[in-house]
């Protein structure tokens, strides 16, 4: 049997997989796990190997043996070197991507080029409340509710029918402790009564649950943000370098945004300067994504910038310096003669930005996931590294001893299981006490992660992280050898 990737000791893949709870080569989690693996001194694994392999030889243990295994595991954990920190400006890859083959770079605007400060979230929350009261006749009392930034995380699902907000894993299982009605936790017993199971069918998830519904307040939000751009946007000083480098390298560039042009113009002027349009060959506003990618019947219209009027004549070519509205992706490709595999498109939303272009048009894709900053900060914290190190060892001991039949042994394992559950809660709470990490449940990648890894070739926290790589760089996904 070939040694595992990055491991030099006698550890076998089957043991390693349970040791690290590793089931798929998902990059961020694998990054952490491989760091665990690298830093735990695999050349001197005598104790560790004993802890991991002893249990496969027999299924019946005395309580003394179990206590000894636990003590050995504990001692291993205490000696274990902590994993190295993960670099927060790294670009992760889910798929091999050679930037040398990319001739055209495309961008979404909101949360891709433009990063917003938390004050925008509060603004959206307050405008949403107003809309619920005035438009949907919600009780006026909700006006006094305050925005709680530490409550929800990205990638949750909302069951409109049952009024439940939840976090799902890649198998559509509801994460224990991560389902709420309002701010009230819903027990798994109640979940089973409502759904008949702790997992939901894909059809139900796609058909009855929603990620968000804030559409109607966008015009007001744009107006308010536009009045005080520095308050709401975060300027990245390295962003200008990023676009300058693309232009110097002869790359074509474009923007496709659903936002109105006046709003984008104010933001881009703040971020890149008055002549920001020099960096882009095509600018498309009010694109109505994701329909832009699939509805070939909608024509482009030109916006006459000076008078903010739409020109109703047919658009036969897309010119630099002009602004276009609506349109569709097939016409864009035809008019610009772009080959799908030579286009790299960045967006912040794996589904509405990246799914169609990746699946149907073969564009290469990059996701901008600003939550990575916080997630990596927590992964790098001493508290997390210590807790997850022990959790992985304890989980492995439980997994291997679980078939013990004696009552005394069962009690010991129950005790360990309680400790494991407390550790799981602790590691989850470090990210967010309600919903935990955006990317992981206790055992699996989240539903959000699954989509991200499926639709994004690369992902990172901000565009300027690409400045750390040459324009000919090839990104490779982290590999796990299955054999």
Instruction: Report the interface residues with Mg ion, using CB under 5 A.
Output: 108, 110-111, 348
Nearer to Mg ion, 52 or 332 (CB): 332
Q: What is the DSSP string of 149-203?
A: TTT--TT-EEETTTTEEEEEBTTSBEEEEEEEETTEE--HHHHHHHHSSSB--HH
Q: How far is the CB of 108 from Mg ion (least distance, A)?
A: 4
Contacts of 193 (CB under 8 A, 6+ apart): none
Q: Check 110, 265, 348, 353 and give the catalytic one.
A: 110
Q: How far apart are CA 393 and CA 20, in angstroms?
A: 8
How many residues does the structure list for the chain? 483
Contact 183, 154 (CB under 8 A): no
Between 110 and 375, CB nearer to Mg ion: 110
| Residue 374: CB minimum distance to Mg ion, A | 18
Nearest in space to 469 (alpha carbons), one of 92, 25, 109, 106: 92
Q: Is 398 exposed, middle or buried (0-12, 13-18, 19+ CB in 10 A)?
A: middle
User: What are the distances in angstroms from CA 33 to CA 26, 47, 423, 443?
Assistant: 10, 19, 17, 13
Of 236 and 348, nearer to Mg ion (C-beta) is 348
Beta partners for 209?
159
Of these residues, 108, 236, 281, 356, which one is catalytic? 108
Residue 112: CB minimum distance to Mg ion, A: 5
In the bound state with Mg ion, the residue whose beta carbon lies nearer, of 110 and 169, is: 110
Q: Which two tokens stand for residue 457?
A: 């070739």
Q: Which is nearer to Mg ion, 191 or 354 (CB)?
A: 354
Element (H, E) at 64: helix 63-79
* Separation CA 440–CA 450 (nearest Å): 10
**CA–CA distance, 398 with 413 (Å, rounded to integer):** 7
Please, what is the minimum distance in Å from the beta carbon of residue 37 to Mg ion? 36
Helix, strand, coil in percent for the chain, rounding step 5: 50, 15, 35
* Phi, psi angle pair for 7, to nearest 5°: -110, 135
| Angle, CA 297 vertex, CA 296 and CA 298 arms, to 5° | 100
- Displacement of CA 337 from its chain's centroid (Å): 32
Q: Which is nearer to Mg ion, 115 or 331 (CB)?
A: 115
Q: What is the nearest approach in angstroms of Mg ion to the Cβ of residue 111?
A: 4
Residue nearest to Mg ion (CB): 110
- Residues 287/257, Cβ–Cβ less than 8 Å: yes
Question: What's the min distance (Å) between Cβ of 479 and Mg ion?
Answer: 31
Minimum distance from residue 202 beta carbon to Mg ion (Å): 25
Annotated catalytic residue 108: yes
Considering the complex, state which of residue 156 and residue 394 has its C-beta at the smaller distance from Mg ion: 156
Indicate which residues carry an active-site annotation. 108, 110
């Amino acid at each position: 049997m070939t040694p595992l990737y990055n491991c030099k000791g006698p550890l076998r893949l089957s043991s390693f997989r349970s040791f690290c709870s590793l089931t798929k080569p998902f990059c961020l989690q694998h990054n952490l796990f491989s760091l665990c693996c690298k830093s735990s001194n695999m050349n001197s694994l005598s104790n560790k190997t004993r802890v991991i392999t002893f249990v496969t030889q027999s299924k019946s243990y005395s309580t003394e043996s179990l206590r000894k295994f636990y003590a050995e595991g504990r001692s291993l954990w205490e000696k274990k070197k902590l994993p190295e920190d993960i670099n927060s400006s790294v670009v992760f890859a889910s798929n091999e991507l050679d930037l040398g083959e990319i001739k055209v770079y495309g961008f979404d605007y909101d949360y891709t080029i433009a990063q917003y400060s938390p004050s925008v979230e509060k603004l959206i929350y307050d405008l949403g409340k107003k809309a619920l009261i005035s438009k949907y006749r919600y009780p006026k009392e909700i006006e006094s509710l305050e925005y709680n930034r530490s409550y929800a995380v990205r990638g949750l699902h909302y069951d409109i029918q049952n009024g439940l907000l939840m976090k799902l894993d890649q198998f559509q299982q509801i994460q224990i402790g991560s389902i709420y009605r309002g701010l009230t936790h819903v027990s798994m017993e109640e979940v089973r009564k409502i759904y008949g199971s702790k997992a939901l069918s894909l059809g139900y998830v796609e058909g009855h649950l929603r990620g968000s519904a804030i559409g109607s307040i966008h015009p007001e939000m744009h107006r308010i943000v536009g009045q005080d751009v520095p308050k709401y946007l975060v300027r990245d000083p390295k962003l200008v370098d990023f676009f300058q480098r693309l232009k110097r390298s002869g790359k074509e560039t474009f923007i496709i945004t659903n936002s109105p042009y006046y709003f984008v113009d104010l933001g881009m002027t703040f971020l890149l300067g008055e002549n920001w349009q020099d960096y882009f060959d095509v600018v498309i506003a009010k694109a109505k994504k994701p329909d832009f990618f699939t509805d070939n019947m909608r024509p482009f219209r030109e916006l006459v910038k000076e008078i903010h009027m739409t020109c109703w004549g047919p658009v036969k070519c897309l010119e630099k310096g002009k602004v276009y509205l609506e349109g569709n992706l097939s016409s864009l490709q035809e008019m610009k003669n772009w080959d799908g595999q030579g286009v790299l498109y960045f967006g912040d939303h794996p589904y509405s930005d990246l799914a169609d272009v990746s699946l149907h048009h073969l564009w290469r894709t990059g996701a901008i996931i600003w939550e990575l900053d916080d997630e990596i900060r927590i992964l790098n914290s001493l508290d997390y590294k210590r807790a997850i190190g022990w959790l992985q060892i304890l989980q492995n001991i439980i997994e291997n001893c679980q078939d013990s039949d004696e009552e005394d042994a069962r009690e010991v394992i129950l005790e360990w299981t309680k400790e494991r559950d407390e550790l799981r809660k602790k590691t989850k709470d470090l990210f967010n006490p309600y919903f935990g990490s955006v990317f992981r449940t206790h055992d699996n990648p989240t539903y959000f992660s699954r989509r991200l890894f499926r639709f994004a070739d690369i992902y990172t926290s901000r565009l300027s992280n690409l400045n750390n790589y040459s324009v000919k760089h090839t990104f490779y996904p982290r590999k796990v050898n299955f054999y």
